[in-house]
Every structure is written in structure tokens, then in C-alpha cells.
Amino acid sequence: MNHMLTDTAHLYWNAEWKKADAASPWAMPEPWAIDHVSTLRPGSRILDLGAGIGRHALAFAEDGHQVTALDASEAATAAVAAAAFAKGLTIDTVQAPMTDLPFAAASFDHVLAWNVIYHGDETVVRRTLSEVARVLRPGGTFMATMLSARRLPVERAAAPGREISRNTWVFEGEGDKIHPHYFCTAPDLLSLMWGFEVFTLFDRPHGKPGSWHWHLLAERLA
């Protein structure tokens, strides 16, 4: 399957971002992401990859960093731009696919990809990680989450599904998993991390039992 045909979950999320507001769970930044950025030097160049409605991009900009919020969804980038304007913050918003980042090499000191990169097959994942490595400066940091293979039995118990390619599944019913999602073990994930030194890798649920995600912090190698 062509990788661009599997990178389609933004079609679902575009409708969700149109409905989301400041009371949405998607408006609350993750403490681990905020804690790490607090260790960066003031004015660091940060890419929020798959920014959604801007929960992290806004927090990073409020801390005085140079923030770019990228999303494939038009509704997402519009929401970030509106929220930044309302708060008097400067955030560059870019609508583009994660597999083809429109930035020069070594443009950023830190890249965050929270609940983003697994939206597609392994070709999408590999291409996106390659692009992250390209735009991140040597010594820069990368934080991401990925769907854990431990979650697969939970998804399969909830709805009929099928594996369309290696580690890539689609499920029937409501929600974004009618689009391809990539589920991986720790060895699978580490094998994809070319160009990075992994500092932290742990697996925990998000929000509800069984919602397992890998949490990753890495450094771009020289």
C-alpha cells in the first residue's frame, strides 16, 4: 500500500478540531512535555509536529520559545493561529504532511510529536522519523509517543480489525482507527530510530485502561 494512502487520519481529526475548544481534553498540555521544554534554553526553536489545537505550542510560546505548529489539518492550524492571536503570542503555523516537512535541515532545537507519528503504516513512520532527524539539529531533542503493541488486544476486543501491512491495523466502527495505525513493540520502535540516541522509553496507558502508548525521549546524533 502506498504510504500516502495510509496517512489519512487527519481527515477524521480535521472534523474533531473544528469542535474542540478550551474545555477539551486536547487543550491540556502533557506534564512530561512541559517539564522537558522547561530545561531548554530560552528562545529555543521548537517544532510541535501534529499540533492539534495547540495545547503544547501555546505553552511553549508562553515560555518564550520560538514555536512552529505543524499539522496536516486545516482546522488545527486555524485553531492554533486564532488562539495565539488571542493570547498575543507569536507562533508560526504550517499546514503540511509529517512525511514531508517544509523546513531546512537543522532548523529546530526540539521536536515534539505527541500522539502523531503512528497515524499510518511503517513507511509513513520511517519517512516521518527521517524527516524529524533531518530538521533537528545535532544534539537537539525529540519527544514522541507511539502506539504500543500491548494495546492491540484491547482494540481487537472492542471492534473487528485487520492487519493491512506489518504492524499496521484498521478497525471498524467510530473513531479514527478506521484509518491505518501503527502498533509496535520496543524492539520495533528502537529499530526505527536511526540517527537518534534514545534516553527514555516507557509504556503506559493514556487516560483509560488499555490505552498503551510508548513514551520516547531521544537526542539527534551528530
- How much of the chain is helix, strand and coil, in % rounded to 5? 35, 30, 35
Quickly list DSSP for 165-210.
Answer: ETTEEEE-SSSGGGS-EEEE-HHHHHHH-TTEEEEEEEEEESSSTT
Confidence at residue 207, expressed as pLDDT on a 0 to 100 scale: 83
Q: What pTM, to 2 d.p., does this model score? A: 0.96
When computed from its CA atoms, the radius of gyration of the chain, rounded to whole angstroms, is: 16
> What is d(CA 28, CA 157) in angstroms, rounded to the nearest whole number?
29
DSSP 8-state code for residue 95: E
Q: Which CATH number fits domain 3-146+176-220: 3.30.420.40, 3.40.50.720, 3.40.50.150, 3.90.550.10?
A: 3.40.50.150
Residues of the chain with pLDDT below 50 are 1-3
> pLDDT, tens digit, for every residue of 141-166?
999 999 999 999 999 999 999 999 99
Confidence at residue 70, expressed as pLDDT on a 0 to 100 scale: 98
Output the nine-digit C-alpha cell for 115.
Answer: 500522539
DSSP 8-state code for residue 75: H
Confidence at residue 98, expressed as pLDDT on a 0 to 100 scale: 97
In the chain, domain spans: 3-146+176-220
Confidence at residue 150, expressed as pLDDT on a 0 to 100 scale: 98
Cell numbers 472492542 correspond to 158
The Cα-based distances of 124 to 17, 74, 98, 136, 221 in angstroms read: 22, 20, 9, 18, 22
> What is d(CA 56, CA 47) in angstroms, rounded to the nearest whole number?
10
Confidence at residue 32, expressed as pLDDT on a 0 to 100 scale: 97
Confidence at residue 1, expressed as pLDDT on a 0 to 100 scale: 37
Strands of the chain (E only): list them. Answer: 45-49, 66-71, 91-95, 108-113, 136-148, 161-165, 168-171, 181-184, 196-205, 212-220
Please report, in angstroms and rounded to a whole number, the separation of the first and last CA atoms in the chain: 33
Confidence at residue 22, expressed as pLDDT on a 0 to 100 scale: 85
Are 70 and 99 a contacting pair, CB within 8 Å? Answer: no
SS3 51: coil
Beta strand 136-148 with 108-113 is parallel
Output the nine-digit C-alpha cell for 139.
Answer: 544534539
Confidence at residue 3, expressed as pLDDT on a 0 to 100 scale: 43
Confidence at residue 94, expressed as pLDDT on a 0 to 100 scale: 98
SS3 149: helix
Cα–Cα nearest to 83, from 69, 72, 73, 95: 69
